[in-house]
Chains A and B, each alone.
Chain A
């Protein structure tokens, strides 16, 4: 099956620093990628839709200046958590859609961010 790779899997940083998470589709091109956030024992909450070559679309309540998304190519999207604070600690997951508008979503393995 298709593979979506996320890096890093784990990251610990100090409060106030910025952290970049990469999401790559390894064997298919993804015009659209999605970024989710998941708190323990809760479901995935969509943060934003990342569109190749254009600005991301953010969900209500998600600060676009805090969570910077760049979709520079058809196989790479990045999420940068700027000036991270402890409340930003979470599990961040990306997904990429293959095969058109109703195509299957492939998820990355997730990135666990801990802000001290």
Chain B
């Protein structure tokens, strides 16, 4: 069966450190993968998109990698801040225009 797995346990890190979140998928051939941030009681906010032929994408303190061999995407936040505390969702689509399927999300807690 198809699965998108993110660590359901919260990730607690110290301010200033790099946070790394993992998204693994099974039985998908995604055309692209996206990462979103969701705060409690709010809708998700788009952060980054990475396509199947891209290995890495950066945006300010954010970095996403995409390994189609390992079927994994890593999401990094460098120099983390307490304001980065939120739930981060990965989502993928197998073809352009297909619906996005979301992982369960990982909650990140950055402590001052």
- A residues sitting closer than 8 Å to B (CB atoms) are 4, 6, 34, 42-46, 49, 91, 93, 95, 100-102, 104-110, 112
Query: Are the CB atoms of B100 and A102 closer together than 8 Å?
Result: no
If the complex has contacts A101-B96, A105-B34, A106-B46, are A43 and B102 also in contact, measured as CB distance less than 8 A? yes
Q: 8 Å CB contacts to A: which residues of B46-93?
A: 46, 49, 89, 93
Contact with A along B96-109 (1 / 0, CB 8 A): 11011111110000
Residue of B nearest to A42 (CB): B104
Number of A-B contacts (CB under 8 A): 50
For the complex of A and B, list the 4 residue pairs with the smallest distance between their C-beta atoms, beginning with the closest: A101-B97, A107-B43, A102-B96, A101-B96
Contacts of B44 on A, CB cut-off 8 Å?
Answer: 44, 93, 95, 107
What's the least CB distance linking B57 to chain A, in Å?
A: 13
Contacts of B49 on A, CB cut-off 8 Å?
Answer: 102, 104
Query: Are the CB atoms of A44 and B97 closer together than 8 Å?
Result: no
If the complex has contacts A104-B46, A105-B34, are A46 and B99 also in contact, measured as CB distance less than 8 A? yes
Contacts of A100 on B, CB cut-off 8 Å?
Answer: 96
- B residues sitting closer than 8 Å to A (CB atoms) are 31-32, 34, 36, 41-46, 49, 89, 93, 96-97, 99-105
Complex Cα spacing A104 to B59, Å: 15
Q: A43-B102, A105-B46, A106-B46 are in contact. List 14 more A-B contacts (CB 8 A).
A: A6-B43, A34-B99, A43-B104, A45-B102, A95-B43, A102-B31, A102-B93, A102-B96, A107-B36, A107-B44, A107-B45, A108-B43, A110-B41, A110-B42
Partner of A43, one of B34, B99, B105: B105
Contacts of A44 on B, CB cut-off 8 Å?
Answer: 44, 89, 102
Contacts of A109 on B, CB cut-off 8 Å?
Answer: 42-43
Complex Cα spacing A72 to B79, Å: 45
Partner of B32, one of A42, A45, A102, A112: A102
Complex Cα spacing A42 to B106, Å: 10
What's the least CB distance linking A81 to chain B, in Å?
A: 18
